[in-house]
């Protein structure tokens, strides 16, 4: 278990996190991005749909600037394609493709864990435990989305503790690409509690300096396989079907042609 002296340190405020993740966007822009991400995941904005800046700005009650910034961010993460003369278009990501990305993410994070077990500083250990305790508080509130926010910080501390800037950049980039799916996965029943227990084992391995164990634990924590893969696919399918009945999850249907009029008898 974690040494008693590390149980409840104040959250570290070092400048190292600046390397691990970009500065947080304004709350309103972040809220808009999360709403668009979720609508892409649940099928309300299906693959191939054009995301019109003016229409989105009107829908969310904001100016075009945060919409444009959001679309650029979603393009860099691969959820949106920016095409000449068509603007932003929702990219196609099948469950199989998502599973492949989780496989790569698992290997990147395992590498981070192996290096972090050797290179983590005392300050970073305290920062890691503080992030773990923040996850615990979020878990206790029962909010999967609240836990998700603290969970991102927990993983980013490990990226930084690996002390490999290129690896950290790649991990953050793919973490950002998988962000909506990682958030969705945490809404699966009992996943938050299981995730926290997995975090505990990861922290213990890192504090003990056991790189191989930390790498395997983090790999298993991130990868989507077996039942978890089925649960994730089922969750995505459920969200899409829930969005469809009101006509939100499908493309507008073409208007029906008027019925042919019977010819007048001569």
Backbone φ, ψ for residue 87 (5° rounding): 75, -145
Is the pLDDT confidence value at 135 over 60? yes
Is the pLDDT confidence value at 10 over 80? no
In terms of domains, do 37 and 102 share one? Answer: no
- Here the CATH number for the domain that contains residue 77 is 1.10.10.10
Total structural domains within the chain: 2
Whether residue 2 lies inside any domain: the answer is no
- Here the CATH number for the domain that contains residue 122 is 1.20.120.530
For residues 225-242, give the mean pLDDT: 65
**What residues make up the domain containing 209?**
95-230
Identify the bridge partners of residue 51 per DSSP, sorted by sequence position: 88
First-residue to last-residue Cα distance in the chain: 95
Provide the pLDDT for residue 123: 97
Question: pTM higher than 0.95, yes or no?
Answer: no
Is the pLDDT confidence value at 7 over 70? no
In terms of domains, do 67 and 192 share one? Answer: no
In terms of domains, do 36 and 152 share one? Answer: no
In terms of domains, do 155 and 208 share one? Answer: yes
SS3 257: coil
In terms of domains, do 110 and 217 share one? Answer: yes
What does 65-83 look like in DSSP terms, one character per residue? HHHHHHHHHHHHHTSEEEE
In terms of domains, do 112 and 194 share one? Answer: yes
Whether residue 44 lies inside any domain: the answer is yes
Mean pLDDT of the chain: 81
For the sheet containing 87-90, what is the strand order? 50-51, 87-90, 80-83
In terms of domains, do 68 and 193 share one? Answer: no
In terms of domains, do 71 and 146 share one? Answer: no
In terms of domains, do 137 and 45 share one? Answer: no
Cα atoms in the 13 Å half-sphere on the side-chain side of 40 = 31
In terms of domains, do 118 and 168 share one? Answer: yes
């Amino acid at each position: 278990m974690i040494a008693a002296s590390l149980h409840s340190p104040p959250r570290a405020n070092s400048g190292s996190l600046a390397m691990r993740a970009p500065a947080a966007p304004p709350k309103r822009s972040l809220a808009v991005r999360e709403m668009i991400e979720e609508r892409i995941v649940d099928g309300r904005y299906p693959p191939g749909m054009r995301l019109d800046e003016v229409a989105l700005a009107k829908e969310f009650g904001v100016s075009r600037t945060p919409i444009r910034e959001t679309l650029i961010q979603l393009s860099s993460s691969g959820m949106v394609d920016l095409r000449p003369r068509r603007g932003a278009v929702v990219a196609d990501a099948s469950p199989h493709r998502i599973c492949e990305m989780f496989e790569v993410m698992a290997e990147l994070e395992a590498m981070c864990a192996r290096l972090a077990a050797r290179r983590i500083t005392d300050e970073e250990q305290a920062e890691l435990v503080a992030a773990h305790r923040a996850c615990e508080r979020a878990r206790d509130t029962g909010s999967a989305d609240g836990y998700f926010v603290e969970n991102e910080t927990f993983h980013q501390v490990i990226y930084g503790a690996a002390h490999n800037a290129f690896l950290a950049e790649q991990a953050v980039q793919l973490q950002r690409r998988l962000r909506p799916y990682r958030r969705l996965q945490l809404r699966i029943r009992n996943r938050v509690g299981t995730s926290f227990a997995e975090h505990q084992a990861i922290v213990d391995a890192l504090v003990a300096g056991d790189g191989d164990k930390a790498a395997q634990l983090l790999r298993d924590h991130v990868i989507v396989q077996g039942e978890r893969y089925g649960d994730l696919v089922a969750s995505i399918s459920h969200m899409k079907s829930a969005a469809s009945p009101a006509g939100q999850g499908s493309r507008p249907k073409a208007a029906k042609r008027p019925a042919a009029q019977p010819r007048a008898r001569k």
